């Protein structure tokens, strides 16, 4: 297959260089995760992993929407979901992609989706009070707060680091706090 996609940022080994491959991979990812996925975050994730150029991924998502394989579910969150037609494409053509590319892309997309979901289910505020920096991390279950922790930190850099750790797995942090308090 002749290369017809932009290749800036794409790894020579394990990267995709045709729009057809990129479109199949997108359908495959949406089909296997089977949840609303933010398009721009997916594009950035695949680009960061060296799998596909982010502009090509965004163009492919637009193409797949226009052709009925994906459907926009929220403009605000830039989320899409796969249609039955898209699932058929993924199932029919998934063998055209290497196992390594599918696995790398799926793992990266799953991690990205988990972080996206965590960000929607949390509220993190960094504030300054009396020349001190605080971070407040709250986690929600269906709009019901189940944990809120306010910490005094040394500076905004440390607050940002804590924010990133919290977004990676708020449930693990909640479980650790419960374990510490009930032992």
Q: What is the mean pLDDT of residues 165-169?
A: 90
Q: Is residue 157 very low, low, confident or very high in pLDDT (cuts 50, 70, 90)? A: very high
Question: Nearest-CA neighbor of 23 among 55, 63, 53?
Answer: 63
Q: Encode pLDDT of 97-132 as tens digits.
A: 889 889 999 999 999 999 899 888 899 999 999 999
Q: Encode pLDDT of 8-37 as tens digits.
A: 656 666 678 789 999 999 999 999 999 999
- 107 token code pair: 């793992």
DSSP string over 96-126: GS-HHHHHHHHHHHHHHHHHHHHHHTEEEEE
Round to whole Å and give the CA distance between 93 and 115.
28
Mean pLDDT (the chain, rounded): 90
3 state SS of 128: strand
Give 122's contacts (C-beta < 8 A, 6+ positions apart).
Answer: 137, 138, 139, 140, 166, 167, 170
Round to whole Å and give the CA distance between 119 and 170.
9
Domains of the chain in start order, with CATH, are: 19-117 (1.10.10.10), 121-182 (no CATH)
Predicted pLDDT of residue 96: 87
Helices 39-48, 99-120: axis angle to 10 degrees equals 130
Are 139 and 147 spatial neighbours (Cβ–Cβ below 8 Å)?
Answer: yes
Q: Encode pLDDT of 54-97 as tens digits.
A: 999 999 999 999 999 999 999 999 999 999 999 999 998 888 88
Round to whole Å and give the CA distance between 28 and 46.
13
Are 117 and 108 spatial neighbours (Cβ–Cβ below 8 Å)?
Answer: no
- 110 token code pair: 């799953």
Predicted pLDDT of residue 142: 81
Q: Is residue 5 very low, low, confident or very high in pLDDT (cuts 50, 70, 90)? A: low
Round to whole Å and give the CA distance between 28 and 1.
19
Q: What is the mean pLDDT of residues 46-59?
A: 92
Are 15 and 50 spatial neighbours (Cβ–Cβ below 8 Å)?
Answer: yes
Q: What is the mean pLDDT of residues 155-170?
A: 93
Comparing 61 with 168, the larger pLDDT belongs to 61
Q: What is the mean pLDDT of residues 5-10?
A: 58
pLDDT at residue 166 tops 70: yes
């Amino acid at each position: 297959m002749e290369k017809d996609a932009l290749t800036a940022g794409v790894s020579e080994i394990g990267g995709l260089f045709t729009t057809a491959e990129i479109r199949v991979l997108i359908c495959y990812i949406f089909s296997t995760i089977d949840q609303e996925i933010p398009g721009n975050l997916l594009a950035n994730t695949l680009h960061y992993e060296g799998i596909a150029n982010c502009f090509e991924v965004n163009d492919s998502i637009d193409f797949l929407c226009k052709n009925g394989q994906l459907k926009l579910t929220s403009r605000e969150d830039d989320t899409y979901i796969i249609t039955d037609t898209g699932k058929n494409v993924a199932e029919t053509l998934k063998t055209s992609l290497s196992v390594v590319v599918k696995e790398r892309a799926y793992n990266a997309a799953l991690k990205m989706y988990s972080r996206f979901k965590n960000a929607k289910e949390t509220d993190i505020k960094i504030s300054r009070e009396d020349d001190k920096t605080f971070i407040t991390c709250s986690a929600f279950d269906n709009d019901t707060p189940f944990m809120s922790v306010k910490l005094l930190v040394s500076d905004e850099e440390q607050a940002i680091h804590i924010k990133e750790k919290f977004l990676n797995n708020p449930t693990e942090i909640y479980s650790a706090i419960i374990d510490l308090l009930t032992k």
